[in-house]
Amino acid sequence: MLQVNNIREHKEAYIQALKKRNFDAENIFEEVLQLDEMRRSTQATLDDIKAESNRISKEIGLMFKNGEHQKANLLKEKTGKLKEDTKDLSEKLANTIAELEKLLYTIPNIPHESVPAGASEEDNEEIYKEGDIPVLAEGSLPHWELAKKYDIIDFDLGNKVTGAGFPVYKGKGARLQRALITYFLDKAVEAGYTEYQLPLMVNEASGFGTGQLPDKEGQMYHITEDDLYMIPTAEVPITNMYRDRLLIDKDFPIACTGYTPCFRREAGSYGAHVRGLNRLHQFDKVELVRVERPKDSYEAFDGMVEHVKGLLKELKLPYRILKLCGGDMGFTAALTYDFEVFSTAQDRWLEISSISNVEAFQANRLKLRYKNKEGKKELAHTLNGSALALPRVLAGILENYQTEEGIRIPEVLVPYTGFDLID
């Protein structure tokens, strides 16, 4: 959530920056500033009335003490009117604050100056590419056919038990999935991240804190009876561990990792491009989250990018990095890099990680601040990234490592799987 003071101070620059997102902020900024002016004016009047009421209460006490009962009773009538005014103004202030906050929740984050303008994924910029795309033998199969051939993932069984988008992993498929999770966690811990086991449901305050709520796209599963939400990513519970926190300078850097299943309704996703593991309602992911001083956050961002590059290099999967344009970037992000692995059997790129610097956008919602060495309180910066989301990594491994003998296991994973071939 943007800070009102920053909107006031940088209004024109913010309007221009948000055009990169194809978001017209001019009218909404005017409304925000009008509401904030009303809030400040109401607060000032309320403070004056409370001060006047306190002053008169002291006078009444002295009058009663001095035997001036008639004068005291006259003033008591005045305090009654002041109490009514205080109640009315307090309600007006609360309503104004709620309306202002509701409006601020609809404004996306200001994109970093390096973010390219654009309307869709077609306008993203490729900034890095590594790895040779393997040449597969004639008749090579996409991963959903390989899963059936080697009986390692059963999409029909998942559909029977739950519905489409909830696959069942079997035998060596389940072991490969577990190996990937453990490998990703081990690499994160080795890189200095603290591992957490996390709740898979969060409350409404947590959803608002990280920006998943209000849920404009209808992507979250909502348990209405308990008013809880299934997490779309471990970013939500991890980042909310720091909600309403005042950190001190020595607490930094804060680096957290966690494995969780992730749940997304993926409303409106149909067609061949989402077949098999390409788009799921439940999938596994190892997440990285950092909380940093503002001056350190982009250095931390670069470190997260290098971490994911290292994973893909060890897995020997061809990949590229895209800098997302304003129109394709998530609501909360200031800068996002997407990693895509090349699926040789599908002959296309598949997104397997997004790394974002959210700057102070979530911290303002979360009331996540820190006290610097000079004793001044500032909003911290938060960052998040997948390291990695498993379905498309698994799809890439199955498709790119297929041979006539079976599916080879990347060398780095063999100590985790206990086998080097799916046959």
For residue 386, what is the domain's CATH number?
Answer: 3.30.930.10
User: Quick one: pLDDT at residue 271?
Assistant: 55
User: Quick one: pLDDT at residue 302?
Assistant: 98
Residue 160 lies in a domain: yes
Mean pLDDT of 77-87: 80
Residue 369 lies in a domain: yes
Residue 75 lies in a domain: yes
Average pLDDT in the chain: 93
Residue 116 lies in a domain: no
Provide, rounded to the nearest whole percent, the portion of the chain with pLDDT above 70. Answer: 96
Residue after which a domain boundary falls, among 74, 104, 134: 104
Categorize the per-residue pLDDT at 128 as very low, low, confident or very high, splitting at 50, 70 and 90. Answer: very high
pLDDT digits (tens, 9 = 90+) for 321-350: 999 999 999 999 999 999 999 988 888 999
User: Quick one: pLDDT at residue 85?
Assistant: 86
Categorize the per-residue pLDDT at 267 as very low, low, confident or very high, splitting at 50, 70 and 90. Answer: low
Categorize the per-residue pLDDT at 402 as very low, low, confident or very high, splitting at 50, 70 and 90. Answer: very high
Task: Report the alpha-carbon distance of residue 362 to residue 349 in Å, rounded.
Answer: 30
Kind and range of the H or E element at 201?
Answer: strand 201-203
Question: CATH number of the domain that 21 lies in?
Answer: 1.10.287.40
Does 70 share its domain with 142?
no
Does 134 share its domain with 213?
yes
Mean pLDDT of 15-38: 97
What is each CA distance from 197 to 166, 183, 238, 261, 292, in whole angstroms? Answer: 22, 16, 9, 11, 21
pLDDT > 80? residue 241: yes
User: Quick one: pLDDT at residue 217?
Assistant: 74
Residue after which a domain boundary falls, among 39, 69, 104: 104
0.85 exceeded by pTM: yes
Does 349 share its domain with 387?
yes
Categorize the per-residue pLDDT at 56 as very low, low, confident or very high, splitting at 50, 70 and 90. Answer: confident
Does 87 share its domain with 149?
no
Q: Which of 238, 301, 13 is nearest to 2 (CA)?
A: 13
Residue 415: partners with Cβ closer than 8 Å, 6 or more residues away? none
Does 44 share its domain with 126?
no
Helices (H), 163-234: 171-190, 204-210
* Residues listed for the chain: 423
Residue 34: partners with Cβ closer than 8 Å, 6 or more residues away? none
Is residue 79 helix, strand or coil?
A: helix
Does 199 share its domain with 258?
yes
Residue 112 lies in a domain: no
Does 187 share its domain with 81?
no
Mean pLDDT of 240-244: 98
Residue 168: partners with Cβ closer than 8 Å, 6 or more residues away? 153, 154, 155, 157, 158, 161
pLDDT digits (tens, 9 = 90+) for 168-207: 999 999 999 999 999 999 999 999 999 999 999 999 999 9
Residue after which a domain boundary falls, among 45, 69, 104: 104
Does 226 share its domain with 343?
yes
Task: Report the alpha-carbon distance of residue 19 to residue 7 in Å, rounded.
Answer: 15
Does 150 share its domain with 82?
no
What is each CA distance from 214 to 105, 219, 297, 381, 398, in whole angstroms? Answer: 8, 11, 26, 21, 37
pLDDT > 60? residue 270: no
User: Quick one: pLDDT at residue 215?
Assistant: 79
Provide, rounded to the nearest whole percent, the portion of the chain with pLDDT above 90. Answer: 82
Are residues 352 and 339 in contact, defined by beta-carbon separation less than 8 angstroms?
yes
Are residues 255 and 192 in contact, defined by beta-carbon separation less than 8 angstroms?
yes
Token pair listed for 41: 């004016």
Number of domains present in the structure of the chain:
2
Task: Report the alpha-carbon distance of residue 1 to residue 209 in Å, rounded.
Answer: 9
Residue 198 lies in a domain: yes
Does 320 share its domain with 382?
yes
Does 154 share its domain with 22?
no
Does 140 share its domain with 97?
no
pLDDT > 60? residue 366: yes
What is each CA distance from 321 to 124, 279, 341, in whole angstroms? Answer: 10, 20, 9
User: Quick one: pLDDT at residue 273?
Assistant: 62
Range in 124-133, 135-144, 238-247, 308-317 the model is least confident about: 135-144
pLDDT > 80? residue 274: no
Q: Higher pLDDT residue, 222 or 135? A: 222
Range of the domain at 286: 121-422
Residue 397 lies in a domain: yes
pLDDT > 70? residue 373: yes
Nearest-10 crossing angle of helices 26-65, 11-18: 140
Residue 109 lies in a domain: no
